[in-house]
């Protein structure tokens, strides 16, 4: 089961959920701004360069070497030593704003984790395609890495370690705060980060 | 002075947040509610966890910026710093952050052309002694920092507007609560240098210079009234403090630089003298 409502978390929020990848559209559409999620399963780290390369392939009609349908991407350049994730908090999501709407449209990803909020293009794409944007507290990289259980794979290492796509298995990764939902609602008004 | 000592200073820099910053974050907690409060709690928990496990608190181990006082050979100090960074990159470890700005190619060494960034500070050098202050500056907050060349008739009001505009536009991007370094006067590059240098001054000591102190006192509540809050999720704690440095400037200029610093203000001081190497906190 990909979706479970948690009853008794001490966190005072709208709702707390436990999510497991792969996510279904119907599940994601229940999430609202203000909800808190704890995620288990696979996340794909993708930042500036991975977005550019993915779109370059997708626009040419080619496939990605990994499957993002129903998946969750993480705006993160992890600090890795050998096969250990040492520190892995989110990076500023706004840098990916120019690429994100198309990536959502092409791939059918269901979740994006980052920090600092995103723009109107992403807001529209989340609404249209049924996906959600969540934020993990920025800079809390050491704690975030505690939720990383193992590295499942790595793609595009030639982009450099921070820009590569690391597939990381996480367990109860959170709190991830929903700040943009699939109804077009955002935590930060005025349509900016 | 050897590379392993520089690497040790970098390890402490990346894993052990200065207490004055941690203290301010804890004080802020009581003023926050809802998810902003939860985010701040995670940030504070992470600081203790990283210190205890000797892990880099943030995966962005930053661009390392060195402020060095030394009476002897600068070349030798530079070489030792470069070696120390190589060692720290493997052992702390540091994320390989340094790329060619045009090709974005990453050699994985955290070194490159005109990099690392080392400022040799001329004042207060003593023979036989090397003092090094190191900062790790993450891109999230460096990217939203700004410089302005104001016309002098903008006055103090204009300087404040630069700060408020920079912080407001930055929103949640630089991992608030932030610390604001403000450099005023000098020249384009000097103001930016002073803004960053201002961040080296601890928050638990009052600024001696009355002009700087007054600006700091006036700007902090103004910034916190913006309501950006922890991680930009709303609240009171937008900034933990403001630090101002200034220099006299050309009669026709008013350079202003705003260095935005995330909560992870990683700074450390290391000293080499006749009694050897030590870290000052
Ligand atoms: S802005 Fe600072 S705390 Fe946030 S991710 Fe960057 S380095 Fe880490």
Does the pLDDT of residue A11 top 50, yes or no?
A: no
- As for how many domains chain A has, the answer is 1
pLDDT score, position B281: 79
pLDDT score, position B128: 85
What residue ranges do the domains of chain B occupy?
Answer: 3-17+57-138+266-280, 140-261
Does the pLDDT of residue B75 top 60, yes or no?
A: yes
Q: Find the CB nearest A161 among B43, B95, B104.
A: B95
In a domain, A2, yes or no: no
Does the pLDDT of residue B26 top 60, yes or no?
A: yes
In a domain, A69, yes or no: yes
> Tell me: the pLDDT tens digits for A76-110?
999 999 999 999 999 999 999 999 999 999 999 99
* Residues of B in Cβ contact (< 8 Å) with A94: 173
Q: Which of A139, A143, A166, A191 is the best mutation test for B, with the most CBs of B within 10 A?
A: A139
Complex ipTM value: 0.95
Run of H or E residues at A190:
none
Does the beta carbon of B262 lie inside 6 Å of ligand 1? yes
User: Could you tell me which residues come within 8 angstroms of residue A38 by beta carbon, excluding any fewer than 6 positions away?
Assistant: A6, A16, A17, A18, A19, A172, A173, A174, A175, A176
% pLDDT > 70, chain B:
100
> Tell me: the pLDDT tens digits for B223-232?
999 999 999 9
Does the pLDDT of residue A2 top 80, yes or no?
A: no
In a domain, A4, yes or no: no
Distances (CA, A) of B92 to B6, B66, B117, B163: 12, 18, 19, 35
CA distance B244 to B181: 6
Instruction: Kindly identify which residue of chain A lies nearest to residue B57, measuring between CA atoms.
Output: A142
Run of H or E residues at B61:
none
Instruction: Give me the mean pLDDT over the B159-174 stretch.
Output: 98
Burial of B109 (C-beta count, 10 Å sphere; 0-12/13-18/19+): middle
pLDDT score, position B58: 98
pLDDT score, position A87: 98
In a domain, A10, yes or no: no
Containing structural domain, residue A128: 22-192
pLDDT score, position B72: 87
**DSSP secondary structure of B220-277:** HHHHHTT---GGGSSSS-SEEEEEEEEE---TT-EEEEEEEE-S--EEEEEEEETTEE
> Topology of domain B3-17+57-138+266-280, per CATH?
Dihydrodipicolinate Reductase; domain 2 (3.30.360)
Q: By the 8 A CB rule, do B66 and B81 touch?
A: yes
Q: At A38, which CATH number?
A: 3.20.130.10
pLDDT score, position A192: 42
Whether residue B96 lies within 8 A of chain A, CB to CB, comes out as yes
3-state SS of B74-143 is: HHHHHHHHHHHHHHHHHHCCCCCCCECCCCCCECCCCCECCECEEEECCCCCCCCCEEEEEEEECHHHHC
CA distance A191 to A27: 25
CA distance B78 to B85: 11
Instruction: Give me the mean pLDDT over the A161-174 stretch.
Output: 98
pLDDT score, position A191: 40
Q: What confidence tier does B124 reach under pLDDT thresholds 50, 70, 90?
A: confident
pLDDT score, position A3: 58
* B4 HSE (CA, 13 A, CB side): 0
In a domain, A7, yes or no: no
Cβ separation B262–A94 shorter than 8 A: no
% pLDDT > 70, chain A:
91
Instruction: Give me the mean pLDDT over the A47-62 stretch.
Output: 98
pLDDT score, position B125: 83
Run of H or E residues at B183:
strand B178-185
Instruction: Give me the mean pLDDT over the B254-268 stretch.
Output: 98
Shortest Cα–Cα distance, A95 to chain B (Å): 10
In a domain, A14, yes or no: no
Closest listed residue to residue A71, CA positions, set A16, A11, A25, A10 = A25
* Residues of A in Cβ contact (< 8 Å) with B56: 79, 86-87, 141-142
Look over chain B and give the mean of its residue pLDDT values, rounded to a whole number: 97
Query: Is residue A51 annotated as part of the catalytic site, yes or no?
Result: yes
Q: Which of B143, B262, B267 most suits a substitution to test ligand 1, by most atoms within 8 Å of the C-beta?
A: B262
Q: Find the CB nearest B50 among A76, A92, A142.
A: A142
Q: What confidence tier does A14 reach under pLDDT thresholds 50, 70, 90?
A: low
Cβ separation B53–A116 shorter than 8 A: no
Does the pLDDT of residue A12 top 90, yes or no?
A: no
* Residues of A in Cβ contact (< 8 Å) with B97: 162
In a domain, A12, yes or no: no
pLDDT score, position A13: 52
Q: What confidence tier does B122 reach under pLDDT thresholds 50, 70, 90?
A: confident
> Tell me: the pLDDT tens digits for A22-34?
999 999 999 999 9
Beta strands A165-180; A36-45: pairing state: antiparallel
pLDDT score, position B179: 98
Residue nearest to atom 1 of ligand 1 (CA): B140
CA distance A1 to B190: 58
Does the pLDDT of residue A5 top 70, yes or no?
A: no
Beta strands B276-280; B266-273: pairing state: antiparallel
pLDDT score, position A193: 41
In a domain, A180, yes or no: yes
């Amino acid at each position: 089961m990909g979706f479970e409502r948690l009853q008794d978390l001490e966190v005072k929020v709208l709702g707390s959920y436990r999510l497991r990848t792969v996510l279904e559209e119907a599940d994601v559409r229940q999430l609202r701004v203000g909800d808190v999620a704890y995620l288990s399963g696979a996340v794909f780290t993708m930042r500036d360069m991975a977005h550019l390369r993915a779109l370059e392939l997708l626009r040419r009609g080619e496939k990605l070497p990994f499957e993002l349908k129903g998946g969750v991407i993480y705006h993160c350049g992890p600090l890795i030593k050998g096969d250990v994730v040492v520190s892995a908090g989110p990076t500023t999501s706004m840098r990916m704003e120019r690429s994100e709407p198309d990536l959502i449209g092409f791939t059918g990803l269901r979740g994006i984790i980052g920090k600092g909020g995103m723009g109107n293009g992403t807001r529209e794409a989340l609404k249209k395609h049924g996906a959600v944007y969540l934020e993990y507290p920025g800079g809390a990289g050491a704690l975030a890495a505690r939720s990383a259980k193992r590295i499942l794979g790595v793609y595009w290492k030639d982009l450099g370690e921070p820009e590569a796509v690391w597939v990381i298995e996480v367990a109860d990764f959170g709190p991830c705060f929903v700040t943009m939902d699939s109804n077009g609602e955002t935590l930060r008004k005025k349509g900016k980060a | 002075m050897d590379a392993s000592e520089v690497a040790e200073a970098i390890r402490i820099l990346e894993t052990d947040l200065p207490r004055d910053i941690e203290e301010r974050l804890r004080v802020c907690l009581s003023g926050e509610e809802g998810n902003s409060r939860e985010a701040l709690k995670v940030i504070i928990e992470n600081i203790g966890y990283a210190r205890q496990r000797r892990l880099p608190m943030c995966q962005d181990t930053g661009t390392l910026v060195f402020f060095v006082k030394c009476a002897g050979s600068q070349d030798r100090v530079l070489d030792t710093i470069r070696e120390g960074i190589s060692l720290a990159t493997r052992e702390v470890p540091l994320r390989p952050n340094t790329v060619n700005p045009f090709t974005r190619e990453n050699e994985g060494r955290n070194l490159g052309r005109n990099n690392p960034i080392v400022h040799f500070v001329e004042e207060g050098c003593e023979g036989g002694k090397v003092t090094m202050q190191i900062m790790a500056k993450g891109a999230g907050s460096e990217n939203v920092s700004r410089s302005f060349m104001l016309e002098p008739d903008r006055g103090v009001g204009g300087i404040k507007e630069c700060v408020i505009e920079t912080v407001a536009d930055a929103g949640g991007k630089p991992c608030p609560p932030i610390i604001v370094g403000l450099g005023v006067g000098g020249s384009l590059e000097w103001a930016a240098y002073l803004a960053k240098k201002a961040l080296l001054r601890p928050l638990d000591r009052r600024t001696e210079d009355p002009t700087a102190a007054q600006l700091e006192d006036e700007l902090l509540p103004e910034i916190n009234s913006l309501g950006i809050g922890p991680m930009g999720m709303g609240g009171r704690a937008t900034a933990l403090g403001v630090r101002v440095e200034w220099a006299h400037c050309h009669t026709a200029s008013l350079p202003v630089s705003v260095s935005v610093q995330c909560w992870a203000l990683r700074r450390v001081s290391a000293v080499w003298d006749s009694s050897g190497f030590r870290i000052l906190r």
